[in-house]
Structure 1
Amino acid sequence: MFRNCGNVLQFKTAISALGVTALFGAVILPAQAQDNAYPHANETIGTVEQVYDGALLPDLAVSTYRNIDRLFPTRTIKAGAKALELPKAEKQLSNVKFKYEDKDYDLYDFIALDSITAMLVIKDGKVAFETYQRGNTEKTRWMSMSVAKSVSSTLAGIAIKEGLIKGLDAQVVDYVPELKGSAYDGVSVKDVLMMSSGVKWNETYTDPNSDRRALLRAQISQKPRSAVELMAKLPRAAEPGSVNTYSTGETQILGEIVRGAVKKPLAEYLSEKIWAPFGMETDASWWLDSPDGVEIGGSGISATLRDYGRFGLFFMNNGVVDGKSILPEGWVKEATTPKTLKDGKKLDYGYMWWTAWTEPSIKDGAFSAIGIQGQNIYIDPVEKVVIVTFGAQPKPVGKEPIDPNVFFDAVVAELKKS
């Protein structure tokens, strides 16, 4: 995890910053600091660099992905006093059969081949299928990876609704003054939401020299403001709004915008606006750039399967809490439909939500929050279906044997049968 530490003192300092002990390529938390009520608290876990290198054997990957709150300092996303009920549907999903690339598959193939460690299917607000594998349980908190981007986007929408962010055309530097004079000067909130700031970025997870890994090293340093300092040094590669470049750094900037606008931590804002009032059942957590610092906007949320499902329901139902939407009018459609660059080029991407790419999903206007290594919140707003998966795929390179959207289409089709 700390390959760049030049000597033993640096190594110990870096380890101390995270409050962990390194042992033979794995990380274990001191016993007195562990949450012993958590069923996976005593498991040995890997390092964050192993996660991004794709260098974890299956069992170690699973234990790591359900303990990511031990890799970095976190802030709690507090749940409320009463959980939103998720009753069992009368019609349960038993099996799903489908074709993919001219081969026959079913539900069991998908779960096994795509390394799915938990899956939840909600139809009309009721649970039609739920499974936990590889020792996971209802109490397991699993990593979000880039699913967190869609959460950060949603928080930006709430801040716009509240007038704290002055609309999509508001300027980044108005909320993050540190970026004045950088490549983000002249970039709008909408540009960031579309990942079209024009700032140069390489997202290759497995490349130690990529910008994504530089952002990870900044996080590992646990130096306050190191992430935004890194982003401020990046060069401009194109005019804002003219080129789409997938960038976790862009979501870090979005998180800084929201933080600057609402004057409180993202985890606190998420708890106040969604997690507690909508009825999430369990406290979640969110990685920080430093102790008591800023949340990592593009990853690092750790939550239970059912609470990710509840977030899907919240968003699918237009962000209604206590009978009133907390999102701007039309936000869900705006955030989840293909956007257009300044030159008229269409993007198969919304505001940090992925638009559909299979015919049935496109027809229903489905969309997804997607994270590397098999994390999904898939939403079909026409059929009122939310599907959540936890994945433990070995490498962050999109090598799923089965396209999840093809499987999700098959699930929706099966649920439509009388």
Structure 2
Amino acid sequence: MTKRIISTGLAGAALSAVFLAAMPASGADYPHAGEPIGTVTEVYDGKLLPDAAVSTFRNIDRLFPTRTIKAGGAVRDLPQADKPLGEVSFTTGDQTYDLYDVMALDSFTAMIVLKDGKVAFETYQRGNTPETRWMSMSVAKSITSTLAAIAIKEGKLAGLDAPLTDYVEALKGSAYEGVTLRDILMMSSGVRWNETYTDPASDRRALLKAQIAQQPGSAMKLMASLPRAAEPGTVNNYSTGETQVLGEIVRGAVGKPLAEYLSEKIWVPYGMEADANWWLDSPDGHEIGGSGISATLRDYARFGQFFLENGTIGGTSILPAGWRDEAAGPTTLKDGSKLDYGYMWWTGWTEPSIADGAFAAIGIQGQNIYINPKRNVVIVTFGAQPKPTGKEPVDPLVFFDAVAAALD
């Protein structure tokens, strides 16, 4: 089973270097401001030495222009759990591992575990601190899909069957005609897409080239040029481009930038403790729907807790009824085939996670938000793995399942 399908950088280190020179530092009070960092091409190609990877991943707001996701007001407390995480040991294949093995082998640079909304374990490695903002990569996809859910609840999106071209003018007359919001959330639009990161001619590399170019509207111009490969709702094909489309749908529906909407609906009212950042497709442009959020470990954990609690703020859910479980999947194609994918969330693929209804937001190089509703557990990791995928000696979900069980 292939998880964490990735996308890659291209277009040359020279273009990336332009951004490094142009972007301001993260702020004099940021603990990692001024650290030397690599290029976006090196990030996606997996060509950063360990120290350079760590310093780059906690400074991604220097790779592209960003918009601030503002925090404010009372910070939601994350109290210490009465029972801290104890010994974690598990066997997979013919090998036995513990927490210390996994932290080292899977190159996790920070980790937090919430049980019943309380901190049972928290650690920062490789110079990271509670103030460190770390890249989300595709964890952002799950956040963007949650913004779509809020827009549905507010009546700004007509629902899962809404035609996306009602909200994205640039895709009218393209292969996206007749594609619904549900199709996009399930990555089943039927529009042709090649996510192969190693192929210089792939669609994913073309999308990154558009991002590097920083020309307004270039991403939607690319998406509008793609042909149809199947009828909408009949084939699942993982596509980072679909999430860029989703971001445009939400922006078109709510009439404001995604970072502003996220701040207004979740970051401030739920009590996030720090401002976060979100990559833009051009200076003062549109957010990159599928990646580019940088936030603190505790605020990612708060987002996981928010979603675990069905999006409840002040005693009322801001998500449509039943959204959490529906979005967690599995979802179903028109022919009845079930997908191990939800609405831009990954369903569990291990026996314990399936039994518990656990699911996850997953990003390349080791970024995870694991949510286990049965055991009321949220786990977040920062990762600095040497390649975007394929370099996790231990399946993180097996580890997360063991941690969740150890807290019983």
- Helix, strand or coil for the counterpart of 1:267? helix
**Unpaired stretches in structure 1, ≥5 consecutive residues:** 6-10, 22-27
> How far is 1:34 from its partner?
4.5
Q: Distance in 2 between matches of 1:283 and 1:328?
A: 26
Determine whether 1:188 maps to 2:202: no
Determine whether 1:282 maps to 2:306: no
1:152 to 141, 144, 151: 144
Contact 1:52 / 1:206 at 8 angstroms: preserved in 2? no
Pairing of 1:217-296 with structure 2 (within 5 A): 217-296=209-288
- Compute the TM-score of the two structures, normalised by the length of structure 2: 0.95
> How far is 1:323 from its partner?
1.1
- Helix, strand or coil for the counterpart of 1:139? coil
Contact 1:84 / 1:278 at 8 angstroms: preserved in 2? yes
The one-letter code matched in structure 2 to 1:257 is I
> How far is 1:207 from its partner?
3.0
Pairing of 1:5-404 with structure 2 (within 5 A): 18=19, 20-21=20-21, 33-404=25-396
Q: Distance in 1 between matches of 2:184 and 2:44?
A: 24
The one-letter code matched in structure 2 to 1:404 is P
Q: Distance in 2 between matches of 1:78 and 1:211?
A: 33
The one-letter code matched in structure 2 to 1:248 is T
Q: Distance in 2 between matches of 1:296 and 1:168?
A: 21
The one-letter code matched in structure 2 to 1:143 is M
Q: Distance in 2 between matches of 1:155 and 1:181?
A: 26
Q: Distance in 1 between matches of 2:372 and 2:402?
A: 12
Deviations 1:244-286 (A, max 9, x none): 0011100000000000000000000000000000000000000
Contact 2:151 / 2:250 at 8 angstroms: preserved in 1? yes
Q: Distance in 2 between matches of 1:397 and 1:117?
A: 16
Contact 1:372 / 1:398 at 8 angstroms: preserved in 2? no
Q: Distance in 2 between matches of 1:308 and 1:202?
A: 30
The number of residue pairs the alignment matches comes to 400
> How far is 1:167 from its partner?
0.5
- Helix, strand or coil for the counterpart of 2:327? helix
Q: Distance in 2 between matches of 1:34 and 1:317?
A: 32
Q: Distance in 2 between matches of 1:2 and 1:128?
A: 41
Deviations 1:84-116 (A, max 9, x none): 000011211133100011211100000000000
Q: Distance in 2 between matches of 1:280 and 1:2?
A: 34
The one-letter code matched in structure 2 to 1:259 is R
> How far is 1:294 from its partner?
0.4
- Compute the TM-score of the two structures, normalised by the length of structure 1: 0.93
Q: Over aligned residue pairs, what C-alpha RMSD do you find? A: 1.5
- Helix, strand or coil for the counterpart of 1:347? coil
- Helix, strand or coil for the counterpart of 2:96? strand
Contact 2:145 / 2:246 at 8 angstroms: preserved in 1? yes
Contact 2:188 / 2:233 at 8 angstroms: preserved in 1? yes
Contact 1:202 / 1:247 at 8 angstroms: preserved in 2? yes
> How far is 1:29 from its partner?
5.4
